[in-house]
Amino acid sequence: LEKLSLLATESVKLMDEAGSPAAWQMLAQAEQIALQEALRKQLAIKCGEMAFQQLMPKEHHMIDFFVWGGCCMHKDLNTVKGSNTGLQQYW
């Protein structure tokens, strides 16, 4: 229910930023989609922050310590390519 209320509040702000519901309707569809996507990203961040605040302090530390390294595929590929180049030069 709290998230639904947040969605409603942020949606009203989005209409206000456009000027009015009529002004929103006058925006190009691509612009409406871009603004809605930005709203979704903002809501995801806010919901994440709300969920984070409900965690225990120990859980805060574990999440704050988390390091994201990505998928590492390009790093592995670079290793293979570098090794291949080195072997070709050696032979």
pLDDT at 72 over 70: no
Please, what's the b/e burial string for 48-80 (b: 16 or more CB within 10 A of its CB; e: otherwise)?
A: eeeeeeeeeeeeeeeeeeeeeeeeeeeeeeeee
- How much is the pLDDT for 67? 64
Confidence at residue 58, expressed as pLDDT on a 0 to 100 scale: 86
Number of structural domains in the chain: 1
Range of the domain at 50: 2-90
| pTM score | 0.57
| pLDDT tens-digit map of 18-35 | 888 888 889 999 999 999
pLDDT computed for residue 90 by the predictor: 86
